[in-house]
Amino acid sequence: MKYMLLLARSDEEWEALSDEQRDYPAIARWFGELAQRGVLMGGAELQPARTATTVVWESGKPLLTDGPFVEAKETIGGFGIVDVPDLDAAIEIAKTWPATGHKVEIRPIVPVD
Amino acid sequence: MKSGAAKDVTGASVEAVLTSVVRDEAGRLTAALVRLLGDFALAEDLVQDAVVTALEHWPVDGLPTDPTAWLLATARRRAIDHWRRQRNYEEKLALLVRDGPSPEHADEVDDRLRLIFTCCHPALSREAQLALTLRAVIGLTTREIARGFLMTETAIAQRIVRAKRKIVEAGIPYRVPDPDRLTERLNEVLGVVYLVFNEGYLATVGASPDRRDLADDAEWLARLIMRLLPDQPEAAGLLALIRLHRARWATRFDSRGQVVLLRDQDRALWDREAIARASALVLQALRTARPGPYQVQAAIAACHAEAPSWQQTDWRQILLLYDQLLRFTPTAVVRLNRAIALAEGVGPAEAVVEVNSLEPALSGYHLFHATRGELLRRLGRPQEARLADERALELTTNPGERLLLEERLAGST
């Protein structure tokens, strides 16, 4: 089964951290190990939510708004997609996410036949 | 008068036989069907339908000679209805005949464990774990679960549907956890069983005669888990803990349904034989030198149960056990219970200091205020004690506990 691991944190707190505190080498190792195991389908870090542009439809017409579709203290700062046998395997991977101040939401991806 | 009593006994025993047959057979059948069909939600539905049908027919037609075969045949008929529209339904149906699950199936232990661990998977909410375990593992009907928790059938049914959907859609595996996760996951399972027990424990006798005896279901579950996982001392610890509580069952309420505190219980009415057996079970578990919260709680319960009186209780031992329990479960509630032992073993002044320190965490918990009230009264501070008791009463919903607090307040004027 495929799962998307949504890496959530507060943009504000994340940006206040020093490079050392963010520990990108550890994050790179995490993705690297998953890739080596052959379970990683993709993943990336996202720019903070303040950079977002949202398209909304009003009376069928697309309009642009500045900012994310929902204002929240915690936002998605990145994601990884893994292909593993079951939820337990996805949980084990999520538990090893190394970045500080994060929550990891595990979302199953709807299979396409 | 006499014939009325006899009728009650007969009625109760038919029900008891039904309960135990369903418990023994339904979970076994569900467990095997999930493996055979590879579809948790469907297997559980088929067995639930069969159980509901059995509960309608058996009291009228009598128990079938082979209840498992009867349930399987009924589940099979449901399956035919379900699969008729599908192309390969005959293949699936053949599965239910050729490999029809039998009680002697070699995989039975694994099947049942898989079912239990799936129902108590930590990705499900506690409420979902409870409802699903009662239905899939014990074979309770939705109606019985609703009665046990004093909830509506609709609410319970929804909870179960959602939980089963999550199992399928989120890919919750149907298997026994790996050895390095087993202890942690077992703890989750035992937590569910103990919650079931506690739901049943405070149910006032006579308040609702048709209320399901969840304490009995919990004991049955704990015993099943202990038999399936004989190497796990915590399973034995939980079974012993439940049995020790139940050995004092008859004395926990008085004739008006008022809660009777441990210190005031008539110890002559305790089941000494059950206490001795459960205490031996705790000792046996502790000898494996892999202690855990349930073994320690059972050891505390055993200390109480074996004491000739409240005054002659071994409070030093109990305090040591609470210290050990705090290492496993460092919660404010455990510290509150420890404080009660501290009041007896050391003194109420020391205990009240400890209790006061729990104020922010437990200010919404009725037993925090009740304990504080009791200690303050012993320290000769009646006004403060009264305020604490009043607060406790405001926060208490259980009728048996309310009666006790009301009596206390009436006596303290």
pLDDT at residue B122, rounded to an integer: 95
> How many Å apart are CA B72 and CA B330, to the nearest integer?
46
At residue B75, does pLDDT exceed 50?
yes
Q: Which residues of A lie closer than 8 Å to B, measured between beta carbons? A: 1, 3, 85-88, 90-91, 106, 108
| Of B324, B343, B365, the domain-final residue | B324
Edge-to-edge strands, sheet with A40-45? A40-45, A74-83, A2-10, A103-108
The 8 Å CB, 24+ separation contacts for B247-255 are B247/B271, B247/B272, B247/B274, B247/B275, B247/B278, B247/B305, B248/B305, B252/B201, B253/B204, B253/B205, B253/B400
3-state percent helix, strand, coil for chain A, nearest multiple of 5: 30, 40, 30
pLDDT mean over A29-49 = 96
The pair phi, psi for residue A96, each rounded to 5°, is -95, 0
pLDDT at residue B290, rounded to an integer: 95
pLDDT mean over B165-169 = 94
Which domain, by its residues, includes A73? 2-108
- Which of the four pLDDT bands, split at 50, 70 and 90, describes residue B78? confident
> How many Å apart are CA B243 and CA A40, to the nearest integer?
49
Length of chain B: 413
Interface probe for B, chosen from A87, A104, A110 (most Cβ of B below 10 Å), is A87
In a domain, A8, yes or no: yes
At residue B204, does pLDDT exceed 80?
no
Contact: B171, A91; criterion CB under 8 Å: no
Q: Which of residues 37-96 of B touch A (CB under 8 A)?
A: none
**DSSP label of B363:** T
CATH number, domain with residue A28: 3.30.70.1060
CA distances from A91 to A64, A106, B99, B121, B181 (A): 36, 7, 34, 12, 12
Contact: A1, B173; criterion CB under 8 Å: no
Say how many domains are in chain A. Answer: 1
Cβ pair A59, A92 in contact under 8 A: no
Say which residues have a Cβ less than 8 Å from residue B339's Cβ, sequence separation at least 6: B351, B354, B355, B358, B371, B375
In a domain, B412, yes or no: yes
Neighbours of B301 (CB within 10 A): 25
- Which of the four pLDDT bands, split at 50, 70 and 90, describes residue B39? confident
Query: What token pair was written down for B119?
Result: 């129902």
CA distances from B403 to A38, B393, B407 (A): 64, 9, 6
- Which of the four pLDDT bands, split at 50, 70 and 90, describes residue B29? confident
Say how many domains are in chain B. Answer: 2
In a domain, A113, yes or no: no
CATH number, domain with residue B388: 1.25.40.10
Give me the interface pTM, i.e. the ipTM: 0.88
Q: What angle do CA B162, B168, B171 make, to 5 degrees?
A: 120
At residue B378, does pLDDT exceed 50?
yes
pLDDT at residue B208, rounded to an integer: 57
In a domain, A67, yes or no: yes
B237 lies within 8 A of chain A by CB: no
Cβ pair B348, B325 in contact under 8 A: no
Cβ pair B99, B33 in contact under 8 A: no
> How many Å apart are CA A105 and CA A4, to the nearest integer?
8
Shortest CA distance from A110: residue in chain B: B169
Per-residue pLDDT reduced to its tens digit, A59-112: 999 999 998 988 889 999 999 999 999 999 999 999 999 999 999 999 999 998
Burial of residue B287 (CB within 10 Å: 0-12, 13-18, 19+) is exposed
At residue B188, does pLDDT exceed 70?
yes
Query: What token pair was written down for B276?
Result: 């001795």
Contact: A108, B170; criterion CB under 8 Å: yes
Which domain, by its residues, includes B349? 331-413
| Of B324, B347, B382, the domain-final residue | B324
